[in-house]
Every structure is written in C-alpha cells, then in structure tokens.
Amino acid sequence: MSSNDVRFSQRLTIEQVEEGHELAPKFDEHGLIACVTTAAGSGEVLMLGYMNAEALKKTILSGEAHYYSRSRKTLWHKGATSGLVQKVVEMRIDDDQDAVWLRVEIPGDASCHVGYRSCFYRSIPTGEGDQTRALRFEESEKSFDPSAVYGDAPNPTVL
Ligand SMILES: [Zn+2]
C-alpha cells in the first residue's frame, strides 16, 4: 500500500465492524455512504452529503472534504469553485460504519452554495403552532453573494 492510497477492510463480523480498529465502511447499493458535516467550532450542522469510495479516500488523504454529487454524478471537491474548502478537523465513522461525520473549518463562515452558513438555513414549523408550515429563515443574512462567486450560471448542484 502506497502512502497515497487507503485500503478499506472487508466487513467480516459485527464485532470487527463495531468494536474494532479497522475501517470497513458500508456503501449502499449505489456505492455511497452518507456524511453529515458540522462546523468544528460551533457544532452547527452544515450539510448532509454522500461519498463514494473515491471521495472517502480523497477526504482521508487530503484532509479536505470530498463528496460525490448525485445530481452531477461526479466527484466533488467541495469549495474547488467557490474557494469555500472544508478543512477536516476530525473525521468520525458511526457504529456500523455506514455514516461519516466530518467536523470542518470553513473560510468566511459560509458553507452553503446558496450563500448561507449552513445548508439547513430554514426551519419547518412543527406541532400545533404555525399550521401553514411556511418555512422560516433561521439565518438573518447570507455570508456571501453566490452570484459574485459563481457568476450567473445556474447552479448545477441543485437541479
Ligand atoms: Zn447548501
């Protein structure tokens, strides 16, 4: 194994996967593993993404978040276009190794391509309160202007 490769272990037993030291990620039927990404400082949830094996390896090797874009069907080095690279402070994997948690530092306090800090910038009213269920904006202003960063091209990550 060279220093620019990462080898994943075969998944053999529950004990090995849950209690052991071997990285044995479980990719779904599309070859993807879910990744929740939070801000290392505040703990705020920034985004939920997916990684294929290549994205997981590149994240481990580079210390910068790489994802797999399901809409574009391609490896996605987060921030390569916008400069909003996510520097990995800590990378964790869950008990059965089918989900990853990245704690990252982000420049300019912005992560979301819409211009907000977190992709989760709106809340959905729950319970008896606001029965219109109109989405509420939880960030009062954008951290950056997306059109200044991306130009006027329609963002390919969404539609
Ligand atoms: Zn977003």
What domains, with CATH codes, occur in the chain?
Answer: 27-149 (3.10.20.810)
pLDDT in tens, 59-92: 999 999 999 999 999 999 999 888 889 999 999 9
CA of 7 to the centre of ligand 1 (A): 30
Close Cβ partners of 49 (under 8 Å, ≥ 6 residues apart): 34, 35, 37, 65, 67, 68, 78
**Residue 159 scores a pLDDT above 50:** no
CA of 28 to the centre of ligand 1 (A): 23
pLDDT of residue 154: 53
CA of 90 to the centre of ligand 1 (A): 21
pLDDT of residue 156: 54
CA nearest neighbour of 25 among 94, 89, 103: 94
Q: What's the pTM value of the predicted model, to 2 decimals?
A: 0.88
pLDDT in tens, 101-148: 999 999 877 888 898 999 999 999 999 988 899 999 999 889 888 888
Read off the pLDDT band of 153 (50, 70, 90): low
CA of 112 to the centre of ligand 1 (A): 3
Q: What is the mean pLDDT of residues 9-22?
A: 96
pLDDT of residue 129: 85
CA of 110 to the centre of ligand 1 (A): 9
Cβ–Cβ < 8 Å for 5, 70: no
pLDDT of residue 2: 59
CA of 75 to the centre of ligand 1 (A): 17
CA nearest neighbour of 46 among 126, 113, 145: 113
Q: What is the mean pLDDT of residues 17-29?
A: 97
CA distances, 68 to each of 55, 72, 88, 117, 153 (Å):
6, 8, 17, 21, 21
SS3 letters across the chain? CCCCCCCCCCCCCHHHHHHCCCCCCCCCCCCCEEEEEEECCCCCEEEEEEECHHHHHHHHHHCECEEEECCCCEEEECCCCCCCCCEEEEEEECCCCCEEEEEEECHHHCCCCCCCCCCCCEECCCCCCCCCCCCEECCCCCCCCHHHHHCCCCCCCCC
Between residues 152 and 127, the one the model is more confident about: 127
